[in-house]
Structure 1
Amino acid sequence: MPQSLAMVGGVSVATGPMSDPTARFDALVLSNILTFTTATVVGQLGIVSKQWLAVTSDEMIWKEFCDRDFHVTTKSAPAESSHTAALMQDTHHFKATWIRWHSWGKSLGLQTVNGPLYARVRDMWAKIEEWTSVHKPSIHTSLSHGATGDDFRAVESKLGIKLPDVYKLIWSVHNGQSLQFDEEVDATQRMPRDLTHQIFDGLLGGYSFYDILVCTRLYPLQRTLSHTLRRTLDTQRSQGPVSRIVIAASYDFCKPFFLDINDGMGVVMGPEYRWACVPPGPCGLLRWMEEFASRLTTGVYTLGSLIGDDPKCAGVNLFPQAGPLASTCITNGIEAKASAIFCPESEHSMFTYSIRLGVSSPGDFPYDSAQLQSRHWKITDGTGHTEEVQGQGVVGKFPVLHRGGYRDDAIRGYQDDVPSRGQEKEGVFVYQSCTGRLPEVPPNSGSFQGTLQFVPGTLDTPVGHLF
């Protein structure tokens, strides 16, 4: 019986009784040849005949396609349910693996499917989930289920943009945070008093000094859409299509985070300031969030009160507590720990700093107590200009440190010049302030240093010399 030719994916394939490929080619040789085609071509060849189906089902072919197309080398792929987007499922065969990755990427509208990149996203979220479940469960429960392809397409359609792949990967695991406080604010434009505790549930953390309080939440897609339309669409229309979307902001929007959908750069931006915080590039946002997750798990960021020492205001405290971003000095068993944060959202773009004081080495503390007497700061900006600040106590406070805690002595009235006895408190004394106005210099320049003087015992009953 004569043979006939069929065109499959641009390849001429003989059909008929003599078309068995194994009759003319070694199976291994044929499999190697097919790896130079595409998965689509091989899939089409598989429907020509039973013989072609057997050849095109060779694991070696599909393993090569998985590695080449998705950089995947294991027989696993994303779970089908968006509620378990961070989970991977065994597929048992590389052909099934390729099909799952392909359909998953297509469903999310990804321009490129990258298995290792998605693995980094899952690892980043796993660290955040573990930390929040232990230290701040209210943040953990606020993390929404992953966004779907339909969710992404709805936002893209309404904004007339294409969302970056890395953004889709991150939000496909958790679609930001769902907080009733934020929903009430969006609906009423007022802050609900009965939900003020959720102010401190921002995943991306916060800090405070004087009358400024920042606590940043990660936006779900719907909030990104509404806030991008409300805050940026009108101003950006005059400059062309939308180029930035709002992906996070403090509870009162005093510190919004924007993602540039073209170059991947993240910026904190307001009417009078703009500061790049996420490096440009297709993976800049993921690198930034990986660093954030790492700082949580290594103790650089900790759970702490964002306002003074009030335990009701506990959240992810962004004042570094470990590593090179924190400075620690121990004298006579008293530990002073200092760290700083650049605040572009403040009126004059300044640094806020935190100083924590406590007895960290009880065995090396030779007194029953020691009270803070004075401070002396040296603040040098990027131009080399140095400003010195000297005074009694800190912001009117004169803590009396002892083993296990401190007494919160302070000057209570404007006309008082002697601190009055305060309450006994556990933990460490926390003092937060700011540097004042800075010149127009790079925010990572300059330095802050100084000394604190303590008197053994108390100011009114000293038992030794100043140290």
Structure 2
Amino acid sequence: MAPYDGLHSCSFVSRRLNQLSGHNPLWRSLCSRYWLLTDADRGAGAPSWRALFRQYYLEWGRYLRHYAVLKTSWETLKTFLSQRCPRMIASLKDGAKEEELDSIETQIGFKLPEDYRCSYRLHNGQKLVVPGLMGSMALSNHYRSEDLLDVETAAGGFQQRKGMRQCLPLTFCFHTGLSQYLALEATEGRNLSDIFYHCPDQLAQDPSAIDMFITGTSFSDWFTTYVNNVVTGEYPIIRDQIFRYVREQQCVATTGDLSVTVSTAFLPELSSVHPPHFFFTYRIRIEMSSSASPDAACQLDSRYWKITKGNGEEEEVRGPGVVGEYPVMMPGKVHEYASCTTFSTTSEHMEGHYTFHRLANKEEVFNVLIPRFHMVCPPFRKSVVRSQGSTNDRSWLNDDDSDGDHGDFRGINLGDGAQCPRHV
């Protein structure tokens, strides 16, 4: 029983319970816990805390389990982005009304999850603009920026075709057509409220053979995790856009005055489960300490990589420069670039070193460590068609069948030190 219902019912049992149920400090704590209200929100001459709780309960009571979490996430995100990404804040739409959400449910013939409804009562997605609120990614000839769809647009993209039945799009990218979907029913290998990128089985003749990269198990889980990654700086902001790179906590190596940091990102739109082909981009930051001596100035000559796949196979790669460049490092200088790799196993890690020479003495050559960084494919589910042994299905490729495409890329500046890679 909800707090308001229970306490309100108690008030009719006896005079003493009636007095207790009206205890103002109790209602104040409930207002703070469930509706995040403070003394400033109540203001002078406002109704009692009990009346204020009832006021909010009448409007938001069905979302009692979700309101505080989602309201906090929205407010935290807006505060964080207000100075960094003002265009995104301006693109947010006001919350939808209850009757609008009820109408959408009637239109599609399915109930919307309560946490989804609660979030859309707070903000009805965003206007369809770029950059998208749900993050971006850029390569030289490939760009993705995902908008958080308003509920009306989402309903227009509701899927009932075989392989994607009862799935509501949450995000959309104008450039790639990529969407993340929310499952409104447990069917075709999905759990209720799963959030995923769909991935057609490229070797199947049946178009309903859809694999899924799972990005969340509920709307609340999906949204709050994303917000946390943004506000903690896990995802860097580059020129008014959120880039969905992730850095392991210990993924930094320091050699003398130079430090190297690596972050990675999985690109589902360039990946497939069948055949197994997983595409990652990685972003490397090389920095020389501002306290270094001017005599420490140096230039990068070459790179060395040791690549270990999930099946234990190792590969070594050597080459001149990075993305066709030979950066000069001086005290306080930062150089960043991006590159990428594809592989056929579900995980891989890379490590290595750069070779530099001192500008003051070209004979002085030394190596700078690159920390080990891991690339792990997100959870995925195989298509029901293939899992059930469709006659149209072909066998999996072996993990040994990697195309070995571990390449450096020639960079195009994205601004603020970021690099957009181009395959050489």
When normalised by structure 1's length, the TM-score is: 0.64
**1:297 corresponds to which of 214, 218, 231:** 231
- The answer to whether the Cα contact below 8 Å between 1:374 and 1:452 also exists between their aligned partners in 2 is yes
Counterparts of 1:369 and 1:456, CA distance in 2: 6
Distance in 2 (CA, whole Å) between partners of 1:320 and 1:173 is 28
Indicate conservation of the 8 Å contact 1:334/1:365, yes or no: no
Asked whether the equivalents of residues 291 and 332 of structure 2 are also in contact (C-alpha less than 8 Å), the reply is: no
Report which of the two structures shows the higher radius of gyration computed on alpha carbons.
1
Match of 2:18 among 44, 58, 71: 58
Q: Structure 1 437/378 Cα, relative in aligned 2: closer, same or farther at 3 Å?
A: same
Q: Which residue of 1 aligns with 2:244?
A: 318
Query: Which residue in the other structure is 1:277 paired with?
Result: 215
Q: Contact (CA 8 Å) 1:267, 1:276: kept in 2 or not?
A: yes
Other structure's SS at 2:30 match: coil
Equivalent runs, 1:326-405 vs 2, <5 Å: 327-347=251-271, 348-359=277-288, 361-367=289-295, 369-405=297-333
Q: Secondary structure at the match of 1:454?
A: strand
TM-score by length of 2: 0.70
Indicate the SS of the match to 2:170.
strand
Q: Distance in 2 between matches of 1:265 and 1:74?
A: 31
Q: Which residue of structure 2 aligns with residue 256 of structure 1?
A: 179
Within 1, Cα distance between the matches of 2:181 and 2:123?
Answer: 18
Q: More helix by proportion, 1 or 2?
A: 1
Change (3 A) 1:300 1:365: farther
Greater strand proportion: 2
**Could you report, residue by residue, the CA deviation over 1:357-385 in whole angstroms, capped at 9, with x for unpaired residues?**
232x1213553632211111122222112
Residue in 2 that maps onto 1:187: none
Cα drift, residue 243 of structure 1: 2.6
Partners of 1:88 and 1:248 lie apart in 2 by 33
Residues 1-400 of structure 1 aligned to structure 2 (within 5 Å): 58=18, 60-61=20-21, 73-74=30-31, 92-93=47-48, 95-97=50-52, 99-105=54-60, 110=62, 113-114=64-65, 117-179=66-128, 181=129, 198=130, 201-228=131-158, 232-235=159-162, 242-262=165-185, 263-272=192-201, 273-278=211-216, 280=217, 284-304=218-238, 311=239, 314-320=240-246, 324=249, 327-347=251-271, 348-359=277-288, 361-367=289-295, 369-400=297-328
Describe the shift of the 1:89–1:255 C-alpha distance in structure 2 as closer, same or farther (beyond 3 A): farther
CA offsets 1:9-61 (integer angstroms, 9 cap, x no match): xxxxxxxxxxxxxxxxxxxxxxxxxx9x9678679x7xxxxxx9x95993533
CA contact (8 A) 2:294 2:331 kept: no
Identity %: 22
Query: Higher relative contact order by CA 8 Å / sep ≥ 6: 1 or 2?
Result: 2
Unaligned runs of 5+ residues in structure 1 are 1-34, 46-51, 80-86, 182-197, 305-310, 406-427
Give 1:353 deviation, angstroms. 0.9
Cα separation, 1, equivalents of 2:253 and 2:293 = 14
Gaps of 5+ in 2: 186-191, 202-210, 272-276, 368-424
CA offsets 1:148-184 (integer angstroms, 9 cap, x no match): 11221121111111000111111221111113x4xxx
The alignment partner of 2:137 has SS state of strand
Kept in 2: contact 1:205–1:216 (CA 8 A):
yes
CA distance in 2, matches of 1:62, 1:172: 29
* Superposition deviation, residue 101 in structure 1: 4.0
Is the contact between residue 302 and residue 316 of structure 1 (CA under 8 Å) also seen in structure 2? yes
1:464 aligns with 2:364: yes
Aligned residues: 340
Contact 2:308-2:349 within 8 A present in 1 as well: yes
Instruction: Decide whether aligned partners of structure 1 residues 100 and 253 sit closer, same or farther in structure 2, where only a CA change above 3 A counts.
Output: farther
Q: What is the CA distance between 1:124 and its match in structure 2?
A: 0.8
After superposing on structure 2, the runs of 4+ consecutive aligned residues of structure 1 that deviate more than 4 Å are: 37-43, 54-57, 75-79, 87-91
CA distance in structure 1 between the aligned counterparts of 2:285 and 2:110, rounded to whole angstroms: 46
Q: In structure 2, how many angstroms separate the alpha carbons of the residues matched to 1:253 and 1:226?
A: 18
Measured after TM superposition, the shift of residue 233 of structure 1 is 2.6
